[in-house]
Amino acid sequence: NKKVILKDYVVGFPKESDMILKTSETMTLKLPAGSNGLLVKNLYLSCDPYMRSRMTKTEGSYVESFTPGSPLTGYGVAKVLESGHANFKKGDLIWGFTGWEEYSIINAPEGLFKIEHTDVPLSYYTGILGMPGMTAYVGFYEICTPKKGEYVFVSAASGAVGQLVGQFAKLSGCYVVGSAGTKEKVDLLKNKFGFDEAFNYKEEQDLDAALKRYFPEGIDIYFENVGGRMLDAVLLNMRLDGRISVCGMISQYNLEQSEGVRNLFTLVTKRVTMKGFIVFDHYHKYPKYLEMIIPLIKNGTINYIEDIVEGLENAPAALIGLYSGKNVGKQVVVVAHE
């Protein structure tokens, strides 16, 4: 059983060498007697930005820290090899929390989702049909409450969540602009995902001026994925009664101390609502989301891009690549093809 182990807690920017690949020959592919868990074969693993916070020892966070010396855990797609739980049986495909290893024993399978639609790529359950898809759905439709004709800005727009938010905004009749870190990503936003405009934030000295160029009348909705100086620039451009959906702040995850935000007074003057959310609180809406999204995937209304690497040995590089923008689209690691 090959596994990706966290060596020790990480300070600053994570490196590939913070994780090691270990092979243990001792694992017997069997559930312990009396277990009401599952033995699964992992197929796809999801690389997600929040995993950085789990590499630091934190208490009272919404997710537990990883344990140094043990495999990382995260979202994935797996096949049930043996089940001690009444809700699952051998051969079922599931998505949810699993280990960064070839085979895992999942002791509390209640939080897993059984995969019912298998006529779409299974890897989609790490993204558009899984946690990031639900994040875009809840974060945009519920937190942003979009109205036709509104001006929407999305940062980290080509990523797992951002590419969907932009397309949901177009479906809602909004004008949408995205920012991303390379020309290739900017082209994708405009040509593949249907954003009205897009720009490379790394080429803009003055983000406030860039936003004024794309939003001469200001921004009604900001879908916040990055934080830092982008948030400060957006605050200067919000319109009256605007909404900011605070999904994440990836530019801050590797800093020992977060950058300050200077322009918060805009919330007062422009009567802006800024609201954070965590997708975990919203999984009861998953069936409703699937009902909406599956037909949109099948009829080609929604486009979706994944960045797929093969092999657990390439998982550490894939994960840390998120923090330098190496991924183009949703970052997935293939552990095994079914």
CB of 329 to ligand NDP, least distance (A): 7
Q: Is 209 or 278 the residue whose CB approaches ligand NDP more closely?
A: 278
Q: Exposure of 72 by Cβ count < 10 A (0-12 exposed, 13-18 middle, 19+ buried)?
A: buried
Q: Is 61 or 87 the residue whose CB approaches ligand NDP more closely?
A: 61
**Residues contributing to the site for ligand NDP (CB under 6 A):** 48-50, 132, 135, 156, 158-162, 180-182, 185, 225-226, 247-251, 277-279, 322-323, 325, 327, 330
Query: Cβ-closest residue to ligand NDP?
Result: 159
3-state secondary structure 81-129: EEECCCCCCCCCEEEEEEECECEEEECCHHHCEECCCCCCCHHHHHCCC
CB of 278 to ligand NDP, least distance (A): 4
Question: Residues 300, 142, 170, 322: is their CA dihedral positive or negative?
Answer: negative
123-154 CB burial, b ≥16 within 10 A, e <16: bbbbbbbbbbbbbbbbbbbebbebeeebbbbb
CB of 216 to ligand NDP, least distance (A): 24
What totals of helices (H) and strands (E) does the chain contain, helices first? 9, 15
Q: Is 35 or 145 the residue whose CB approaches ligand NDP more closely?
A: 145
Q: Is 140 or 151 the residue whose CB approaches ligand NDP more closely?
A: 140
Q: Is 111 or 149 the residue whose CB approaches ligand NDP more closely?
A: 111
Helix crossing, 162-171 with 183-191: angle to 10°? 30
CB of 275 to ligand NDP, least distance (A): 11
> How far is CA 273 from each of CA 31, 212, 231, 338, rounded to the nearest angstrom?
49, 20, 14, 45
Distance from C-alpha of 121 to C-alpha of 123, rounded to nearest angstrom: 5
Distance from C-alpha of 195 to C-alpha of 336, rounded to nearest angstrom: 34
Q: Is 70 or 324 the residue whose CB approaches ligand NDP more closely?
A: 324
Q: Is 163 or 266 the residue whose CB approaches ligand NDP more closely?
A: 163
CB of 297 to ligand NDP, least distance (A): 17
Q: Is 135 or 266 the residue whose CB approaches ligand NDP more closely?
A: 135
CB of 136 to ligand NDP, least distance (A): 8
CB of 88 to ligand NDP, least distance (A): 25
CB of 118 to ligand NDP, least distance (A): 24
Distance from C-alpha of 245 to C-alpha of 225, rounded to nearest angstrom: 9
Question: Residues 209, 210, 213, 218: is their CA dihedral positive or negative?
Answer: negative
CB of 300 to ligand NDP, least distance (A): 22
Helix crossing, 228-235 with 207-214: angle to 10°? 50
Q: Is 83 or 158 the residue whose CB approaches ligand NDP more closely?
A: 158
> How far is CA 180 from each of CA 195, 204, 245, 307, 325, rounded to the nearest angstrom?
12, 11, 18, 15, 9
> How far is CA 334 from each of CA 65, 128, 134, 185, 197, rounded to the nearest angstrom?
24, 16, 22, 23, 33
